[in-house]
Amino acid sequence: MNGEILYCQDLDGLSHRVAEQFVQLARQKIEQQGGFYVALAGGGTPKRLYQLLATEPYREQVEWSRVFFFFGDERYVPHEHDDSNYRMARESLLAHVPVNQAHVYAMNTASDVRRAAADYSRTIQQTLPLVGKLPAFDLILLGMGDDGHTASLFPRTCILHDQRLVAAVYVEKFKAWRISMTYPLINNAQQVWILVAGAAKAPVLAHIQKGQDHDYPVARVNPRGNLYWYLDQAAAAEMSR
């Protein structure tokens, strides 16, 4: 299992711990380079984290106008749709802190999906500092599905082999299109934090820890920089410590 594991009591404890580290990293990067480049995770797990960041004591500690918000993936639905990752992040965080709206980069889900993926990739390349030949996020937040997917890198999908930075993928199990960052971009990040909570995730995490991870895309997240797994007790229940 790549990276370092941080065990937390429950989702709330996990979210507070991540919020503390997020604020610390954001302050450090804004101090050092004048901005903080982060890709937010979608799904349900990070929502509590985003809500915490929008409240004291975390809210006041970050110069939000200097944070450049991107998304690790997006469901190909309108931004007002219940399933939209952008909507979830806006309602739990972005609408409650003084962001510079020009620094919030939602994926375009109103045009051709492949064109939207290519445009997003171009925006990232034009906005982020490069490390090696690729743009490098200061931080990419990820979740993990109970099938071992992360972002929209689902098992046995062609996007797992895609060398572009962002790609469109049709997900058969949902009969829906997604746009997602790919391994080349994710693995060029300075830090990747994977947030996993709940008993449904325990079997996959146990298999990954044992190296039985051939079919779990999250197991191939192996960034140039640091990888941290933030796990609550329920998700880590079948792992050996």
Residues that bind ligand 6PG (CB under 6 A): 41-45, 72-73, 75, 85, 143-145, 149-151
Residue number, 35 or 217, with CB nearest to ligand 6PG: 217
Q: Which is nearer to ligand 6PG, 104 or 131 (CB)?
A: 104
**Least separation in angstroms between CB 32 and ligand 6PG:** 28
| Residue closer to ligand 6PG (CB basis): 35 or 180 | 180
Element (H, E) at 112: none
150 or 209: whose CB is closer to ligand 6PG?
150
CB of 27 to ligand 6PG, least distance (A): 26
Least distance (Å) between residue 132 CB and ligand 6PG: 25
| 182: nearest Cα among 130, 121, 116, 107 | 121
State the alpha helices, DSSP H only, in the chain. 11-33, 47-53, 85-89, 113-127, 183-186, 202-209
Bridge-partner residues for 69, per DSSP?
38, 104
Task: Work out how close the CB of 167 gets to ligand 6PG at its nearest, in angstroms, rounded to a whole number.
Answer: 14
Place of tokens 């080349």: 184
The CB density around residue 115, as the number of other CB atoms within 10 Å, is: 11
Task: Give the number of other Cβ atoms within 10 Å of residue 172's Cβ.
Answer: 10
Q: How far is the CB of 14 from ligand 6PG (least distance, A)?
A: 11
Pairing label, strands 73-75, 67-71: unpaired
Residue closer to ligand 6PG by CB (options 42, 135) is 42
Task: Find the residue with minimal CB distance to ligand 6PG.
Answer: 143
Task: Give me the amino acid identity at 149.
Answer: H
